[in-house]
Structure 1
Amino acid sequence: MMTVSAGSRLRRALAQVGAQEDLNFLLTNRLPRRLATRFMGWFSRIEQPLVRDVSIATWRLFCDVDLSDAAETRFPSLHAAFVRALRPGARPIARDPTVLVSPSDAILGAHGRIEAGRLLQIKGLYYSLSDLLGGDADLARAHEGGAYATLRLTAGMYHRFHAPHDLRVESVRHIWGDTWNVNPIALKRVESLFCRNERAVLRLRIAGHTVTLVPVAAILVAGLRLGFLPEGVALRRTAGRPLPCTARLEKGAEMGWFEHGSTIVVLAPPGFTLMPDLQEGTRLRMGEPLMRLPERGAP
């Protein structure tokens, strides 16, 4: 039986955790999110050496940052460090053609089977796939019964994302939205968070199957760049219209990047299965196996 003192300590510890979560949520979500995001976009690009050095040092102090695999060793600004490229060979790609790899470095969040048009946001909280896709009911139906994986990129991670398989991009659609934080604390408190935030819907064709990537922006990171789009195309000026696309990318080729940390939701049709050794909290590196494609001849 738990003693009175032990019970009191547990309650105090739980209360402290609750207070820390309240403070985290307050600091990252109750401030003017768009204003903070615009400010960060401006400030991070300052190339003055002192500002750059202090900014990068502060970032490394508060985040788990590893720059040892970066292509460059010096950066003109904090932004350049955020969106750094990797040196060749830093992320081996699983070449097995039956495997869909992780498009980014990430922590695996909610994942599983898409049922009744819903996905798990966090334990006990679901959201609508159609809402995530901006009301595209046809695309949502194409994924019903399929697999999904939520990949969370922390602020210190490598921020570029890559082709999870040899593919053709069929269309890109930008959906305007908010910039809520996407950390677990916010996921527990903000209903349908991914459906509220700014995001893009990338419809891909992979080995005859429709696979969709949904990069979701967050506070300080509303910027999303897609390198395969024609030069001069600005996603935010498309007013939510789907952009037809014919870009072909090899497995592991760069697709784009976030300008801080965020989330990518990977949606696959029926027949795709998550690799059996993966579980929530698993740290993935870009190029590592994420899902297995259906066996040849399967629907």
Structure 2
Amino acid sequence: MTHPLTRSNPDRRVRSFGARLFVGLQYLLPQHALSNAMFWLTRRPWPVLIHWAIRLYVRIFRVDLSEAAEPDPRAYPSFNAFFTRRLRADARPLPSQSNAIACPVDGRVSRAGRIHNGALIQAKGRDYSLAALLGGDPSLAALFEDGLFATLYLSPRDYHRIHMPIAGRLRQTILVPGRLFSVNPTTAAAVPDLFARNERAICLFDTRAGPMAVILVGAIFVGSIETVWSERLTPPRAQAIRVDDAGDEGPSLSRGDEFGRFNMGSTVILLFAANSAHWEPQLQPGTAVRCGEQIGQLQRDRLPAGSKP
């Protein structure tokens, strides 16, 4: 009789081969061309086809349209309009505590913790460089040394607008060109320096707790990244690092305000400076999170007296 563990080994080998094949193909695919094609396709106003595709997508990924401001799938003029749908105003309440950090997205925690020796955790046994993530700028990386990071993965079923974790004023937007690997857990575990290799928009804010970065990481089929202050950042695809300084005229946003969106899904990385905040204990790998829920707290001794959230 075959031992049960022996019977399971072929299944594990098949899964491992499938994962390697999935990741390996991504090195060969024309990532940007496919993403540009997806950008075009998801904006076509083809009513019959679009409504069929949305209904199929809702069924496959179990999307909860009851939370949407527009719950009728037939009301969306394009697939992208559905994908970037707004939620009802009461769907994601903010924390009551003034020093609470609100989750900026719906998704799952990939990794969260402290930045140590200039490195962040990408996956089990795989680290990557803070400076590389921030476009190779050592002075920018120094702002977050020994600080906190949280990597939040947005799956296809999730809400894809991004909201402010705390109040802040935009200081700088940095667009870093790169690859467009998938950012799902399988690829994150296999591709070295994934988040520092993919195209990304680094949004740097001044806050009452010090500097905060919200990094929007692109991925394959992410046809576009947008912010409320500059509308579409991509496409067109940047060929070199582009820095837009907001100066003293940068927009000030309150906690919970929408500030960006992914047109198709990806990953958000939060960075806080050392001694400015701490994460809630439940912020562990694999944990589901919802936009607006409390994921951490600002250190009270860093808040000016009488300051408002």
Structure 1 length as normaliser, TM-score?
0.92
In structure 1, what is the Cα distance between the partners aligned to 2:234 and 2:20? Answer: 37
RMSD, aligned CA: 2.2
Aligned residue number for residue 15 of structure 1: 13
- C-alpha change, 1:147 and 1:282, in structure 2 (3 Å) is same
Aligned residue number for residue 300 of structure 2: 295
- C-alpha change, 1:254 and 1:297, in structure 2 (3 Å) is closer
- AA aligned to 1:258 is F
Is there any run of 5+ residues in structure 2 with no aligned partner, and where? 305-309
Question: Do the aligned partners of 1:29 and 1:181 also contact (CA within 8 Å) in 2?
Answer: no
Question: Do the aligned partners of 2:224 and 2:233 also contact (CA within 8 Å) in 1?
Answer: no
In structure 1, what is the Cα distance between the partners aligned to 2:161 and 2:27? Answer: 24
Aligned residue number for residue 209 of structure 1: 210
In structure 2, what is the Cα distance between the partners aligned to 1:263 and 1:191? Answer: 16
Aligned residue number for residue 162 of structure 2: 161
Aligned residue number for residue 284 of structure 1: 289
Q: 3-state SS of the aligned residue for 2:188?
A: helix
Aligned residue number for residue 265 of structure 2: 261
Counterparts of 1:105-144 in structure 2, within 5 Å, are 105-144=106-145
Match of 2:43 among 42, 45, 66: 45
Aligned residue number for residue 89 of structure 1: 90
- AA aligned to 2:297 is R
Q: 3-state SS of the aligned residue for 1:296?
A: helix
How far 1:237 sits from its partner (Å)?
Answer: 6.2
Question: Do the aligned partners of 1:173 and 1:202 also contact (CA within 8 Å) in 2?
Answer: yes
Percent same amino acid among aligned pairs? Answer: 33
1:247 and 2:251 correspond: yes
How far 1:58 sits from its partner (Å)?
Answer: 3.4
- AA aligned to 2:106 is D
| Total equivalences in the alignment | 296
Structure 1, residues 163-218: CA drift from partner, whole Å, max 9, x if none? 11111111111111111000111112210011111101111112141011111000
- C-alpha change, 1:94 and 1:11, in structure 2 (3 Å) is same
Aligned residue number for residue 196 of structure 1: 197
Question: Do the aligned partners of 2:226 and 2:233 also contact (CA within 8 Å) in 1?
Answer: no
- AA aligned to 2:256 is G
Question: Do the aligned partners of 2:108 and 2:287 also contact (CA within 8 Å) in 1?
Answer: yes
How far 1:295 sits from its partner (Å)?
Answer: 2.4
In structure 2, what is the Cα distance between the partners aligned to 1:153 and 1:292? Answer: 22
In structure 2, what is the Cα distance between the partners aligned to 1:39 and 1:241? Answer: 24
- AA aligned to 2:19 is E
1:273 and 2:274 correspond: no
In structure 1, what is the Cα distance between the partners aligned to 2:232 and 2:182? Answer: 29
Structure 1, residues 10-48: CA drift from partner, whole Å, max 9, x if none? 212211321332354356664321121111111111111
Moved more, 238-247 or 259-268: 238-247
Aligned residue number for residue 60 of structure 1: 58
Structure 1, residues 201-236: CA drift from partner, whole Å, max 9, x if none? 11111214101111100000041000123x688785
- C-alpha change, 1:210 and 1:29, in structure 2 (3 Å) is same
How far 1:239 sits from its partner (Å)?
Answer: 4.7
Is there any run of 5+ residues in structure 1 with no aligned partner, and where? none
- AA aligned to 2:299 is P
Question: Do the aligned partners of 1:64 and 1:157 also contact (CA within 8 Å) in 2?
Answer: no
In structure 2, what is the Cα distance between the partners aligned to 1:100 and 1:204? Answer: 14
